[in-house]
A = this chain, B = another copy of it.
Amino acid sequence: MDAKDLLSIGEVAERSGFPHSALRYYEREGLVRATRTSGGQRRYERGVLRRLAFIRAARAIGVGLDEVRAALDQLPERRTPTKGDWSRLSRAWRARLDEQIDALLALRDGLDSCIGCGCLSLARCRLWNPDDKVAEQGSGARLLPPALRRTPDRGV
Contact = CB atoms under 8 A, between A and B. Distances in A.
Contacts of A118: 83
Copies of this chain, complex-wide, total: 2
A62 B152 contact: yes
Main secondary structure of the interface of A (DSSP, over half): helix
Interface residues of A, number: 53
Interface in A79-117: 83, 86-87, 90-91, 93-94, 97-98, 100-101, 104-105, 107-108, 111-112, 114-115
Interface of A: 14-18, 22, 46, 49-50, 53-54, 56-57, 59-62, 83, 86-87, 90-91, 93-94, 97-98, 100-101, 104-105, 107-108, 111-112, 114-115, 118, 120, 122, 127-131, 133-134, 144, 148-149, 151-153, 156
